Each structure stands twice: as structure tokens, then as C-alpha cells.
């Protein structure tokens, strides 16, 4: 195919002035320019980014190295930022806002340390807010180090900082994060692009948000508008990158690499790559994405031909040292390209590109000598007279045809031969309403008016330095038409109207007090009733309109403020502004005396808040009346809950204890029925009470009512006592609260009443102040000995460890029914208990250790009388069956096994239903067996659960290799199967891990063996390597180059390329290369190769040919 770019021929020269006039006639008149600089000892100041809103306010972001920096870029304005107190190398950042006529509105500087801060770009979100990307240094005083952070700062249009996203740049030694560019989508999600080195831990709680590299890699980070990290994507290349948001919301990434660059289309939701386009042997400077496609600005610095079409179709560019533009559609398909030839003694480079709403293309760049800016067969030469180059501004129409070009830089005509312009760089372009806004840098003395008759010169030369300064330039058509507006305009007297109140009004409109006055009025001039005023239009350096708009100002007297009648409400009313009684017409409500936004009449009133009301009569709004609102929020009454009444009281609602005024009772928390104060209380019922103060009823509180019906106390109805004890009513064992004792006639008895044999006593109890209505009758028997007995018990040894610990006091109630009033002591034999031998007494009775078999303890029970008793406590500890089946029992495929639970036990029960000591199993699964020994009153059982697990020969699914080193290669085996496997690469030494490291290249046999003896499987694998150099000099050593062990991999494909990507040799099987091409020896240099394996995996590397 013939080259898409052919050297131009048959060009027809045109006069520069004719085409320059054509450019200016298309709306490129000089409007205004602003210089961004320091004062006194001015140093380098740069403008790096630009955003322009729909009102054509401009936001310029940049860097400053001037210790006395002027934020106000207008000639007459001054807003000095003094950094002379900084005693280290200074570089700060700034953000400036100017209006459509270049008037300074506000400015910001950033950072506290300001040692090496940088600005990158500024953008306007769909929310109307401003987003700035910076990197700032901060002094970490605790560690005495300088930390650096990426900052994304969001501003409101008035310059208020709304939020800041901060991302550290340093993550430990040699672990750093850097930034190139950022973008916003229509949801104001932020996409950050840059590069990093080492391990970057962006989120300690989410490993997916962390990236790692052994060298330098690029990344894209998505952050939602709340500042949360959404995803991060890594690219293993860092040779410069840039991102752009596409019309469909996805992302285009332009990423340089060692042989060119790649354009990616990336899904913004899940970061998957939709497509990619590769461009070989060329460089890109920047790119732009618009609704009509993708534009790439490129350079070619080699002598050979390059292909600018990323598809299989060829579109070549030839010729030395050329710049070009590539046009793609949004699918990445090649559409067109334009070539611009560098002059022999000069240069031409593109620096930026944008499009307008009609799809026209605008390009900025630098050039020197004479350059043809018309890429068609016609000619449009620009000639640079600057010492080190000037800037060009090129426009192509929507069909990519040349429309116009101008230059900016040296004065035209020159006012002095010494007025040289250097390094004029256009960095960003924005087109709004056919007006062109440009920002960048320049040095020395440069002219910003592209006409050939006028100059608008800025100078960066001062007494001590010649340095860079930033600029913003506006080009656009001059509008000298008469203003359009109402000839009669009415104003309200209380608004104190001034000239700024007249419509239309902007910084480009002037008003006069007569038709021929030459002195415009100040915007603060007070308007007079029925006076005429005259307006003209004056844009930047454009001529003022001669036909004046005449208007008459009419001042209408404003009505008085409205009067308030009532402003007190109950909270329960949920009153709104509409409920306030006020006298006036067309009432408007405000939250404060100066608020410009009205408050809806549906706004709920707040207590102790002042609202402001105005009335509007005849179109004039009155002053505002302050209205102080009181919303009575009545506290609920206070009462305890629950409250208890005795059943015998027959209590009513009126008897509930509560503190409050004008109490009302209800049967529900809201709504419900009003209750009579004489209503009888019901057990378990909740009653709801409110109080009323100043006519406002409070919310209700719940009070739970319990009706206490106290039960009789509990105890044994027949109780024995030793007569020598002299027992009283207090001695009786009984459970109850506040006991009351009665005799058979109902007389109340004192608790000290002596008990009499054969007499019955009657007890009640009092709970919550309520005495039980029934009584417990207890009959008393007086005896001469204690009523104790012997006790025995059998135990199973739960842990089967031959011992068990018990608390002997737990058996008191087993040997005597009434334990109250007695003391217990423990002995190993009867004699010791009888004689109370202290040396034999068991002291640690609460932790008494039982041994297997019978354990006899003798318990002496003493009373506070001469009565005592000795009881035998026999505790027998029995062993439980022991089962020796392991937790996991292997079974080879198609085999069976016998499981033995042990012999000599009374009962067996398997989970299969079998009741024998042994069973045969031929299927994997979970099983259990319970083994039991029976004793007289107890059975001791042990249950064992176990798994029968299938074990078989392994299946090798795949083997991954990491080769291409001399002795640091790796083999990783992926095997599946039901067995427990071990791995070897020599059939002798086996290991549990499936990975083998630090291997030399060569052939290996992989063995995977089942540990349960179910078999071994093997496979062959090859680790490849290549020579780093060869010397084809015929001496018999290293005369050819081939992949080591490639003869073992018969499907291997090897391609060898020179440094320009040209295919030199393709090797198969055991072939080698002798360093020639078509029989000719190739030069000694580096060559590249691509090895393709049968599975499609590729390895790329390079080696040296030495002679």
C-alpha cells in the first residue's frame, strides 16, 4: 500500500497576512492577556492547567518560585503572597480565578513547607465545583523528615475549600507513589494516573487496593466523590502516561513503552481492558478525546518508515524528524493523519490539543525557522524570528482540513531588536462560546497580540534575573454591537439601587450619565428616580461600541415590613412557617436577615429561633421582620415503672404514684382511650400518662402495673429437731421473705417461740409489702439423735484419666434432709470420725480426689447440742471404654477396610447400625461407634467419631514453570485427587509442598505420590534458558545462538528481531542462528527475541552479538 503521508508537491503559496486575517476573521481577535509573576527578585512562575466555566470564568493552576508572588495577574491589581520567611529552596503552588474579562476574582496558595510542591491540572465537575491536583510537602516534626502527599482539593466557585483527598507518596524506603494526570467523570468520580516503585499499601483493610512492583510501574486509581478508593489497576511500564474520560464514561489511557506506546480503552466500572491499540517506533506528546474521536500528537525521530495505523492496515509516515497528528474514532479505528515536517535548521512540536462544541480542532505548539502549518497540498508558512522559538496556534475544521494558523512570541512588528521572545509554550487550550483561552509560560519579552499592527507585550526581565512567567490569553471575536436591554427599568427603594443594578451588567459593560459622556460611572453610583443612563460594550482590547443603549431608572418606594400576631406553638402541633399569623401581602420567609434564598413555608418551626418575614407590594419586597418563635416542648411527667400493688388493696388508676400537672391517663402510647381515675388496676397492664402545661399536652410515659398475689413460703411440712437443741421458730427450715408465724388460732407468734413436740405452726411471707393470703403448715417432732443416713453413688470417669474431683459438701443433703444448724467434717475411717482425730481429718473436702474403685468417706455431723451422727459416704469411680480408632482412616479406591473398636465391652453401636466389635467399610464417609460397659446402676459409654477418607492416585492437571534464568527457576505442580500427596523431581526425595525453587534449567521428571500407598504419577517438564551473548567468529566457541533445551520442546517457536523490530530469523526445534541475515553478517549489537510455547505463552528478551 502507498504511504498515507507523501511529501507535499504542487503547493500554492499564499500571503501570510491573508491567512492571518482569515484566522482573525474567524474569531481570533486579541481580547486580553494576563501575566502571572512575582515582584522584586522575580523567579520562575509557571501556568500548568486551565479550566473555564460556562460563564467564562477561568481557573489557572501553576507553580511559583518567587518569594514575593502576586496572585492578582492584572496590571493594576496587587495581591502579594510573602514567602520570604522560607529559609530553604522554595517552590509553591497557586490557583487563580479571573472573570471573562480577565479581572481578578480570587486566588489561593497551598502547602505549609513549600519546598518542592507541584501543580498538575484543574477541572470543573458536573456539580459546578472546582477540583485541583497537587503534590505538597509537609514537615513531620516528630520524625524530623519531609513527607510528601498527593492532594485533590475541591473548591466551591467562590474559592471555599469543600474537601481534600490526601494520599501519601512515601510508603517506606524505596516505596513511592507519583502522579501524572487526573480526570473526572459525569458522577465526579476521580481517576488518578501516575507511576510507582516498590510496595504501595493504599488500604490496609483491602488487599485489592494495594500494588507492588520490582521496578517502575504505572497505575490508574479510581476514587469516588466521597474520597473512597474504588479500584486500582497496575501496568508494568513507566515511560510516561496520560488518561482521558471518554463520552461513554470509560477511560482512555495512553502509555509509553520501550518500543512506542499503547492506547487502552478501560471499563471505568470494573477496570477491565476493552481494547488496546499499539503504535511502534514512534513517540506521543499528548492526546485528546472528544465526541468525534481520539486525537494523538506524535513525533518520529528515526530515518526509516513508521506505521501510524494500529490495525493490520498499513498507513506509513516517512522522512526524518517529523511531527504528526493521528485521528482515530472512539473504537480506536484509524481515520486520518496529518504530517508536519521539521525544517533543517529548526523544529516543530505539538504541546496541546482540544476541540470545540462543533468538533473543530485546535492545536498549540512550538516552532523555530520556517514551518508549513498547512498539512494539505497548499502552503501556509509561519516564520519564527524568536531567538529560541515561538508558539503556533493551529485550527483544523471538523473534517480535519486546514483552516488557519497564527504565531505568538516575538513582537510583530518588533519595537526593538533586543526584544527577543524565548520558550513561548502553550500548555492548555479551552474553547467556550467561540472564545479561545490559552495558558502556558514564556521568557524574555513576548507579544500576545497575534495581529501585525498592534502589540501587547509582557516582559520577564528584571534587575537580577530573566526567568519564566505564566500567562493566560483570551482570543475571540470583538462585539461592537449595541447593548440589548429594557429601556424602562424599575427598582425598589430599599434595595439602594446602584449602576451595578442596571441590566445588562458585567465587567465588559460601561454605563454613562449622558449620551456623550466619556467618563463611565462607577458601579457603586446610586441610581436617581426617572434619570436616564447610557450603556456601551467594551471587551478587552476591542473597541468600545459607539451606539449607546438608553434606559430610564424608576425607583419605587418599598412597603413597610409585615407585622406578627402570634408565634407560640405546641411541639405536638408540628407547626410550620405557614401557621404563623402575620399581617402582610405575598409573605416571604428567610432563615436570617441577609439570606438571599427563601425558606419554604412547610419548614417545621424550631423553639427559640428567629425567622424573618417580608412582604412584597407592587413588585417591591419590604424590609424583613424578625419573629421569635416559641415552641413549647412539654416534658413528660415522671414516675417509676413498674409499680406494684397488693391484690387485697383493689387499687385504682388514681393510686399510681406520678409527678406532674393535669395528669391524663390513656390505654395506649398514642391515640387510645382516656381512662377514668377510678378505673381498677389490672395485673400486667401498662398505663400511659401525660401532663398539660400552658395548654400543651406532653408525650405519654408508660407505667407497667403489677398486682402482687404473694404465694405461701415453702418448706418441709414435717421437720425433726434434737430436743437438746432447744429449737425455736427461727430454727425451722423454710424459704420465704419477711416470715410471719401463727398458731392454730391465727395468733401472731414471735420468732423466738420455743418449738413443742407434736405442734403445728403456720407461716406466711411478705413480698413487695404484700403478705401471702395462704399459709404453710409445719408439724414439729423433737428427737434425741440426728436424722442422718448413709449414701453411696457410682461415677463414670469422664476423662478416663483414673481420677475425678468432687466437692464432699455437695452430699450434705443426701445424708441429712435438714442441713441447717449443723457442721460437717470428713474422715478416712469410722474411728477417726468417732474420735474427731484432727490429724486424720480431710481438710480439702471441696477438691477431694477420687481414685478408680470404691472411695469411702466418713462424715461426722455435729449440732449445737450434744446430738451428732456419723454417716458413710461411698463414692465409686468407674472407668469408661477406650477406643483407639484414629480421627481419619484412609481407604484406597475400590478397596475395603476393617475397623476394630476393641473387645471385652458389653455393648457396641455403630452409626451403620452394626452391634459387633468390628465392621468392614468400603465407602468413604463420616462414621461413629459408641462402646458401653454396664454396672449395677450406671452405664459408662464412649463415643468415637471418625472419617473414612478416599485416597487414590493423583491427577496432574498442570505444571507451571518460571524459567529463563540460570539457577533461579521454579516448577509448580497442580494436582488433584482424593489422596494425601507428596512431590518429588528426582523420585527419591519427596516433600509436602508442590513448588520447587532455585532450579537450574534442563529436563525434569515430576513425581506425585499418595502417602497412603495408593500410587504415583509422573510427568516431564523443561526449564528453558538462553545465552546472554554469542560470538560468531568461527573459533568453534559460541558461534551460534539458540534456546537451551529447545530440542526437548518440539512445538517451540523462536523469532529474532533487530532493535527496530525487524524480523531477522525464525528458529524451530533444534535450529540456531549464526548472526547473519540473507547471508550477510549483521553488526555486533543487541537483538531481541520472542519465544512462543505450545500453550501460547510468550517470553521476550534480548541478547548481544559480539565479534
pLDDT in tens, 1067-1088: 887 788 999 998 888 899 999 9
Domain boundary (476, 511, 538) is at: 476
pLDDT in tens, 307-342: 999 999 999 988 777 899 999 999 999 999 999 988
In whole angstroms, give the CA distance from residue 156 to residue 143.
Answer: 35
Quick one: 155 and 58 in the same domain?
yes
Quick one: 318 and 361 in the same domain?
yes
CATH number at residue 898: 2.60.40
In whole angstroms, give the CA distance from residue 377 to residue 658.
Answer: 102
Give the pLDDT confidence score for residue 302 in this predicted structure. Answer: 65
Domain-embedded: residue 482:
no
Quick one: 309 and 202 in the same domain?
no
Q: Is 730 helix (H, G, I), strand (E, B) or coil?
A: helix
Q: How confident is the model at residue 387 (pLDDT cuts 50, 70, 90)?
A: low
Give the pLDDT confidence score for residue 1060 in this predicted structure. Answer: 85
Q: How confident is the model at residue 538 (pLDDT cuts 50, 70, 90)?
A: confident
Max Cα separation, the chain? 144
Cβ–Cβ < 8 Å for 981, 991: no
- DSSP label of 846: G
Give the pLDDT confidence score for residue 861 in this predicted structure. Answer: 92
Give the pLDDT confidence score for residue 94 in this predicted structure. Answer: 97
Q: What does the angle CA 1041 – CA 1042 – CA 1047 come to, to the nearest 5 degrees?
A: 155
Domain-embedded: residue 841:
yes
As beta bridge partners, residue 69 has 38, 81
Set of cell numbers at residue 325: 497528528
Which string of DSSP letters, residue by residue, matches 888-911?
Answer: EEEEETT--EEEE--SS-SEEEET
Cβ–Cβ < 8 Å for 227, 165: yes
In whole angstroms, give the CA distance from residue 506 to residue 996.
Answer: 77
Quick one: 428 and 443 in the same domain?
yes
Domain-embedded: residue 124:
yes
pLDDT in tens, 630-649: 999 899 999 999 999 998 88
Q: How confident is the model at residue 28 (pLDDT cuts 50, 70, 90)?
A: low
Taking residues 498-518, report their average pLDDT. Answer: 89
pLDDT in tens, 908-936: 999 999 999 999 999 999 999 999 999 98
Quick one: 309 and 249 in the same domain?
no
Quick one: 166 and 195 in the same domain?
no
In whole angstroms, give the CA distance from residue 1104 to residue 1087.
Answer: 6
As beta bridge partners, residue 890 has 949
Give the pLDDT confidence score for residue 26 in this predicted structure. Answer: 44
- Considering only CA atoms, which of 556, 544, 696 is closest in space to residue 618? 556
Neighbour count for residue 830 (Cβ, 10 Å): 13
Quick one: 439 and 460 in the same domain?
yes
pLDDT in tens, 644-696: 999 888 899 999 999 999 999 999 999 999 999 999 999 999 999 999 998 89
pLDDT in tens, 864-887: 766 788 999 999 999 999 999 999
In whole angstroms, give the CA distance from residue 284 to residue 350.
Answer: 10
Q: How confident is the model at residue 21 (pLDDT cuts 50, 70, 90)?
A: very low
pLDDT in tens, 135-185: 999 988 888 888 999 999 999 999 999 999 999 999 888 899 999 999 999
Per-residue three-class SS string for 907-967: EEEECCCCCCCEEEECCCEEEEEEEEEECCCCEEEEEEEEEEEEECCCEEEEEEEECCCCC
Taking residues 234-257, report their average pLDDT. Answer: 91
Domain-embedded: residue 179:
no
Give the pLDDT confidence score for residue 499 in this predicted structure. Answer: 92
Domain count, the chain: 11
pLDDT in tens, 74-118: 888 788 888 888 888 889 999 999 999 899 999 999 998 988 999
pLDDT in tens, 740-766: 999 999 999 999 999 999 999 999 999
pLDDT in tens, 396-425: 999 999 999 999 998 877 888 888 898 999
Quick one: 512 and 536 in the same domain?
yes
Domain boundary (951, 977, 1006) is at: 951
Q: Which residues contact 264 (CB under 8 A, 6 or more apart)?
A: 251, 252, 253, 254, 255, 273, 275, 276
Lowest mean pLDDT among 55-69, 763-777, 846-860, 1093-1107: 1093-1107
List Cα–Cα distances, 640 to 64, 121, 644, in angstroms. Answer: 71, 66, 10
Domain boundary (246, 280, 314) is at: 280
Which string of DSSP letters, residue by residue, matches 475-528?
Answer: E-----PPP---SEEEEEGGG--BGGGSSS--TTEEEESSTT-SSPPPTTPBP-
Q: How confident is the model at residue 8 (pLDDT cuts 50, 70, 90)?
A: very low
Q: Cis ω on the peptide bond leading into residue 413 (within 30° of 0)? A: yes
Say yes or no to pLDDT of 18 above 80: no
384-387 long-range contacts (CB < 8 A, ≥24 apart) are 384/346, 384/409, 384/410, 385/410, 385/414, 386/410, 386/420, 386/421, 386/422, 386/424, 387/420, 387/421, 387/422, 387/444
Quick one: 684 and 808 in the same domain?
no
Average pLDDT of the chain is 89
Q: The domain containing residue 510 runs over which residues?
A: 488-556
Domain-embedded: residue 735:
yes
Say yes or no to pLDDT of 824 above 60: yes
Quick one: 119 and 252 in the same domain?
no
Give the pLDDT confidence score for residue 637 in this predicted structure. Answer: 95
Quick one: 317 and 460 in the same domain?
yes
In whole angstroms, give the CA distance from residue 1000 to residue 997.
Answer: 9
Domain-embedded: residue 481:
no
Rounded to two decimals, the pTM is: 0.54
Say yes or no to pLDDT of 3 above 50: no
Domain-embedded: residue 803:
yes
Say yes or no to pLDDT of 53 above 50: yes
Say yes or no to pLDDT of 504 above 50: yes
In whole angstroms, give the CA distance from residue 73 to residue 105.
Answer: 10
Say yes or no to pLDDT of 20 above 60: no
In whole angstroms, give the CA distance from residue 157 to residue 355.
Answer: 24
Quick one: 44 and 160 in the same domain?
yes
Domain-embedded: residue 287:
yes
Amino acid at each position: 500500500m502507498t504511504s498515507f503521508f507523501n511529501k507535499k508537491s504542487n503547493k500554492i503559496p499564499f500571503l501570510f497576512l491573508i491567512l492571518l486575517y482569515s484566522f482573525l476573521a474567524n474569531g481570533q481577535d486579541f481580547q486580553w492577556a494576563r501575566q502571572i509573576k512575582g515582584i522584586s527578585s522575580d523567579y520562575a512562575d509557571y501556568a500548568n492547567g486551565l479550566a473555564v466555566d460556562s460563564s467564562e470564568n477561568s481557573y489557572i493552576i501553576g507553580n511559583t518560585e518567587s518569594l514575593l508572588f502576586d496572585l492578582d495577574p492584572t496590571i493594576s491589581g496587587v495581591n502579594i503572597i510573602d514567602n520570604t520567611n522560607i529559609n530553604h529552596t522554595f517552590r509553591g503552588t497557586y490557583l487563580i480565578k479571573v472573570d471573562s474579562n480577565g479581572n481578578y476574582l480570587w486566588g489561593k496558595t497551598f502547602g505549609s513547607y513549600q519546598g518542592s510542591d507541584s501543580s498538575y491540572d484543574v477541572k470543573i465537575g458536573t456539580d459546578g465545583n472546582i477540583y485541583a491536583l497537587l503534590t505538597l510537602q509537609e514537615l513531620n516534626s516528630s520524625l524530623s523528615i519531609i513527607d510528601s502527599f498527593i492532594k485533590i482539593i475541591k473548591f466551591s466557585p467562590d474559592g471555599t475549600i469543600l474537601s481534600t483527598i490526601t494520599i501519601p507518596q512515601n510508603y517506606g524506603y524505596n516505596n513511592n507513589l507519583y502522579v501524572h494526570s487526573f480526570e473526572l467523570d459525569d458522577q465526579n468520580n476521580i481517576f488518578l494516573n501516575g507511576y510507582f516503585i516498590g510496595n504501595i499499601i493504599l488500604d490496609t483493610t483491602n488487599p485489592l487496593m494495594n500494588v507492588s512492583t520490582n521496578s517502575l510501574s504505572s497505575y490508574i486509581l479510581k476514587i469516588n466523590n466521597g474520597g473512597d478508593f474504588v479500584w486500582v489497576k497496575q501496568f508494568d511500564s513507566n515511560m510516561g502516561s496520560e488518561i482521558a474520560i471518554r463520552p461513554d464514561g470509560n477511560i482512555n489511557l495512553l502509555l509509553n513503552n520501550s518500543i512506542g506506546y499503547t492506547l487502552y480503552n478501560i471499563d471505568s466500572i470494573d477496570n477491565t481492558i476493552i481494547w488496546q491499540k499499539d503504535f511502534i517506533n514512534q513517540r506521543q506528546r499528548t492526546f485528546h478525546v472528544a465526541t468525534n474521536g481520539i486525537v494523538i500528537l506524535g513525533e518520529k525521530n528515526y530515518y526509516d518508515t513508521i506505521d501510524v495505523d494500529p490495525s493490520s492496515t498499513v498507513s506509513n509516515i516517512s522522512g526524518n524528524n517529523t511531527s504528526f497528528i493521528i485521528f482515530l474514532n472512539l473504537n480506536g479505528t484509524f481515520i486520518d493523519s496529518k504530517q508536519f515536517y521539521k525544517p533543517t535548521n529548526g523544529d516543530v512540536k505539538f504541546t496541546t490539543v482540544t476541540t470545540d462544541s462543533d468538533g473543530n480542532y485546535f492545536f498549540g505548539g512550538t516552532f523555530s525557522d520556517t514551518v508549513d502549518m498547512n498539512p494539505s497540498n497548499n502552503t501556509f508558512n509561519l516564520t519564527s524570528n524568536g531567538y529560541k522559538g515561538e508558539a503556533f496556534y493551529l485550527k483544523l475544521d471538523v473534517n480535519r482540513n486546514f483552516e488557519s494558523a497564527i504565531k505568538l512570541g516575538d513582537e510583530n512588528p518588533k519595537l526593538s531588536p533586543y526584544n527577543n521572545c524565548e520558550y513561548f509554550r502553550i500548555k492548555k487550550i479551552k474553547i467556550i462560546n467561540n472564545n479561545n483561552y490559552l495558558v502556558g509560560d514564556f521568557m524574555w519579552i513576548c507579544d500576545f497580540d497575534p495581529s501585525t499592527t498592534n502589540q501587547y507585550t509582557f516582559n520577564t526581565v528584571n534587575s537580577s534575573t530573566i526567568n519564566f512567567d505564566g500567562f493566560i490569553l483570551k482570543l475571540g471575536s470583538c462585539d461592537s454591537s449595541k447593548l440589548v436591554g429594557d429601556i424602562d427599568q424599575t427598582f425598589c427603594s430599599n434595595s439602594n439601587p446602584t449602576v451595578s443594578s442596571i441590566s445588562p451588567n458585567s465587567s465588559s459593560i460601561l454605563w454613562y450619565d449622558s449620551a456623550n459622556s466619556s467618563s463611565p460611572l462607577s458601579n457603586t453610583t446610586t441610581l436617581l428616580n426617572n434619570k436616564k443612563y447610557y450603556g456601551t460594550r467594551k471587551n478587552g482590547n476591542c473597541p468600545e461600541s459607539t451606539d449607546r443603549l438608553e434606559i430610564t431608572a424608576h425607583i419605587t418606594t418599598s412597603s413597610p415590613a409585615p407585622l406578627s400576631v402570634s408565634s407560640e406553638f405546641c411541639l405536638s402541633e408540628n407547626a410550620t412557617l405557614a401557621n404563623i399569623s402575620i399581617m402582610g401581602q405575598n409573605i416571604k420567609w428567610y432563615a436570617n436577615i441577609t439570606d438571599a434564598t427563601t425558606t419554604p413555608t412547610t419548614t417545621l418551626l424550631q423553639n427559640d429561633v428567629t425567622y424573618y418575614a417580608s412582604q412584597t407590594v407592587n413588585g417591591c419586597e419590604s424590609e424583613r421582620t424578625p419573629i421569635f418563635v416559641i415552641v413549647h416542648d412539654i416534658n413528660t411527667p415522671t414516675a417509676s415503672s413498674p409499680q406494684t400493688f397488693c391484690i387485697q388493696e383493689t387499687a385504682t388508676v388514681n393510686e399510681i404514684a406520678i409527678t406532674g400537672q393535669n395528669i391524663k391517663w390513656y390505654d395506649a402510647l398514642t391515640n387510645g382511650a382516656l381512662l377514668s381515675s377510678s378505673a381498677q388496676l389490672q395485673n400486667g397492664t401498662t398505663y400511659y400518662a401525660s401532663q398539660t402545661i400552658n395548654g400543651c399536652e406532653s408525650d405519654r410515659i408508660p407505667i407497667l402495673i403489677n398486682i402482687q398475689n404473694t404465694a405461701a413460703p415453702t418448706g418441709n411440712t414435717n421437720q425433726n429437731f434434737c430436743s437438746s437443741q432447744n429449737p425455736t421458730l427461727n430454727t425451722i427450715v423454710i424459704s420465704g421473705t419477711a416470715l410471719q408465724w401463727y398458731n392454730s388460732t391465727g395468733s401472731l407468734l414471735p420468732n423466738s417461740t420455743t418449738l413443742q413436740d407434736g405442734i403445728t405452726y403456720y407461716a406466711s411471707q411478705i413480698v413487695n409489702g404484700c403478705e401471702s393470703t395462704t399459709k404453710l403448715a409445719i408439724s414439729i417432732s423433737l428427737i434425741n439423735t440426728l436424722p442422718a443416713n448413709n449414701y453411696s453413688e457410682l461415677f463414670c470417669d469422664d476423662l478416663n484419666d483414673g481420677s475425678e474431683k468432687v466437692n464432699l459438701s455437695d452430699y450434705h443433703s443426701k445424708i441429712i434432709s435438714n442441713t441447717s444448724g449443723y457442721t460437717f467434717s470428713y474422715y478416712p475411717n469410722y474411728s477417726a470420725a468417732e474420735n474427731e482425730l484432727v490429724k486424720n481429718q480431710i481438710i480439702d473436702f471441696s477438691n477431694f480426689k477420687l481414685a478408680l474403685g470404691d472411695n469411702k468417706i466418713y462424715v461426722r455431723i455435729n449440732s449445737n447440742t450434744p446430738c451428732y451422727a456419723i454417716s458413710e459416704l461411698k463414692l465409686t469411680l468407674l472407668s469408661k471404654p477406650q477406643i483407639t480408632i484414629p480421627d481419619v482412616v484412609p481407604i484406597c479406591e475400590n478397596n475395603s477396610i476393617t475397623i476394630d473398636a476393641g473387645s471385652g465391652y458389653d455393648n457396641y453401636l455403630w452409626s451403620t447400625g452394626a452391634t459387633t466389635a468390628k465392621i468392614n467399610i468400603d465407602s468413604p464417609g463420616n462414621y461413629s461407634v459408641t462402646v458401653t460397659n454396664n454396672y449395677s446402676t450406671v452405664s459408662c459409654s464412649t463415643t468415637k467419631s471418625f472419617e473414612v477418607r478416599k485416597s487414590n492416585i493423583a491427577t496432574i492437571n498442570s505444571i507451571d514453570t518460571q524459567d529463563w534464568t540460570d539457577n533461579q527457576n521454579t516448577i509448580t505442580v497442580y494436582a488433584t485427587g482424593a489422596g494425601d500427596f507428596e512431590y518429588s523431581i528426582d523420585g527419591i526425595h519427596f516433600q509436602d509442598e508442590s513448588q520447587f525453587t532455585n532450579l537450574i534449567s534442563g529436563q525434569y521428571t515430576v513425581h506425585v505420590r499418595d502417602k497412603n500407598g495408593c500410587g504415583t504419577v509422573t510427568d516431564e517438564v523443561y526449564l528453558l534458558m538462553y545465552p546472554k551473548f554469542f560470538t560468531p567468529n568461527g573459533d568453534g566457541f559460541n558461534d551460534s545462538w539458540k534456546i537451551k533445551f529447545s530440542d526437548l520442546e518440539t512445538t517451540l517457536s523462536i523469532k529474532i528481531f533487530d532493535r527496530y523490530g525487524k524480523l531477522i530469523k525464525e528458529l524451530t526445534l533444534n535450529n540456531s542462528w549464526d548472526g547473519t541475515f540473507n547471508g550477510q553478517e549483521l553488526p555486533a549489537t543487541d537483538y531481541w527475541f520472542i519465544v512462543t510455547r505450545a500453550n501460547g505463552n510468550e517470553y521476550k528478551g534480548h541478547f548481544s552479538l559480539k565479534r
